[in-house]
Amino acid sequence: MEQAIEKFKLIFKLPDLRIKIIITLTLLILVRVLAHIPLPGVDLETLRDFFQNNQIFGFLNMFSGGTMSNFSIILMGVGPYITASIIIQLLGHVIPAFENLAKEGESGQRKLNQYTRYLTVPLAAVQAYAMIKVLERAGAAGGGLSFSITGFDLMIAVIVVTGGTMLLMWLGELISESGIGNGISLIIAIGIIAGIPEMARNTLALVYEGGLDTSRLIGLMAFLAITILVIGFIVLINQGQRNIPVSYAKRVRGMRMYGGADTHLPLRVNQAGVIPIIFALAILVFPATIARFFEGSAISWLADFSHRIVLIFQNNIFYGACYFVLVVAFTYFYTAVVFDPIRIAENLQKQGGFVPGIRPGTQTISYLKKILNRITLTGSIFLGIIAILPFIVQAITHINTLVLGGTGILIIVSVILETSRQLNAMLATRSYDNF
């Protein structure tokens, strides 16, 4: 505890770190101010009730930091930018031109980042239009919403929301360059944290509705206990890694000897992060969203079919099972994208490195694949449990206001750990320079 206090004091004694923290906090406060500037044309009270009573849209609202329930000018948050980043990253493993850019170092990465920004604009416009129309159809189908955005007003709303996403993207990049931590991740995390007070208020109101409800109070205590256990589990898995020993052969050049070092190749248990959950959510939301769009159709068979689809996806058991399977599948897929055993084995061989007891080349590739598959199994099951945790918690506690699921906790804990690592690295660098 004393060491943490001393470190906290040291942070504010260093002028450059103090400036970075001030910049980060100022920009995050600006983001939260933008999240509470609403677009006209909708009753916010009924909109918030709609998001609170809908499992899928409630999760999307939590992930956006409450911007959807506020119908704010940053309605879509940084979602389109994340989608664009994932698409560009996947194209880097499919299209040779993008793959070559990824190998060019800093200059190639700058070009890929620029392509990501370009792609964010149309994605933000399409997603903003789709979200407004889906909410409008939900209101027409009896969701209790009242929309009056049409024609020119709709076009202005889409332009404003698209601009809001681009502004958030710029603020995130400013935080990454001039502040502390990853700006985009911090914006998402602070949005999730901002929704916790409202969730707590709604939960306490439910517990004390008409007098103290003992069963709901026990459910709330169970939720707090589960949250503590989940946080510890997330930290354990996020910090967990398998170190594969790597040795480098000695090389003689002239009168000097090079190499001969022993090191290790770290394989993280959760190699894919939260990306598989985002992928799976996008796939699951798509059919239900499209079905809601056609639920108010004048064609009777299409409206009936869409209504059945909506009912199927409102079944928590079906939804949770599909969610778990998709998360596990996407974890294997994305891990294979970000960690290529063939490329790793080739790089080791070029640098004169080898895994002790394993021949370079084909045997090294097979060994890395075997280890990676075993680790990914643990990581995929972990992410799958985290994804369906809201359904498990609500089934245990019987409190539907507890919408903060494992995904939100995972994002918050991961961002805190990453920011803490970056801050410790900065402190270590300054201590070394002073020495």
Q: Which two tokens stand for residue 15?
A: 């002028």
Q: Confirm whether 17-194 and 198-435 share one CATH topology.
A: yes
Sign of the C-alpha dihedral computed for residues 351, 357, 362 and 368 taken in this order? negative
Q: Which two tokens stand for residue 209?
A: 């509705």
Q: Which two tokens stand for residue 103?
A: 């190998």
Q: Which residues of the chain have pLDDT under 50?
A: 435
Q: Supply the DSSP string of 248-305, one letter for each residue.
A: E--EEETTEEE---EEEEEEETTTTTTHHHHHHHHHHHHHHHHHHHHTT-SSHHHHHH
Nearest-angstrom CA–CA distance, 132 and 72 = 12
Q: What is the pLDDT of residue 121?
A: 92
Q: What are phi and psi of 225, to 5 degrees?
A: -65, -45
Nearest-angstrom CA–CA distance, 82 and 55 = 22
* Closest alpha carbon to 189 in 94, 296, 274, 69: 274
Judge contact between 148 and 41, C-beta under 8 A. Answer: yes
Q: What is the pLDDT of residue 166?
A: 92
Judge contact between 44 and 138, C-beta under 8 A. Answer: no
Homologous superfamily of domain range 17-194 = SecY subunit domain (1.10.3370.10)
Q: What is the pLDDT of residue 26?
A: 92
Domain range summary for the chain, segments of one domain joined by +:
17-194, 198-435
* Closest alpha carbon to 176 in 166, 186, 163: 186
Bridge partners of residue 176, in order along the sequence: none
Homologous superfamily of domain range 198-435 = SecY subunit domain (1.10.3370.10)
Nearest-angstrom CA–CA distance, 230 and 236 = 10
Question: In terms of C-beta density within 10 A (0-12 exposed, 13-18 middle, 19 or more buried), how is residue 175 classed?
Answer: buried
Taking the alpha carbons at both ends of the chain, their separation in whole angstroms is 25
Nearest-angstrom CA–CA distance, 184 and 181 = 9
Q: Which two tokens stand for residue 135?
A: 């909410």
Quickly count: other Cβ atoms within 10 Å of residue 17's Cβ.
Answer: 17
pTM for the predicted model, two decimal places: 0.76
* Closest alpha carbon to 192 in 65, 48, 68, 29: 65
Nearest-angstrom CA–CA distance, 293 and 387 = 25
Q: What is the pLDDT of residue 162?
A: 92
Judge contact between 157 and 365, C-beta under 8 A. Answer: no
Q: What are phi and psi of 353, to 5 degrees?
A: -100, 155
SS3 percent helix, strand, coil of the chain, rounded to 5, is 75, 5, 20
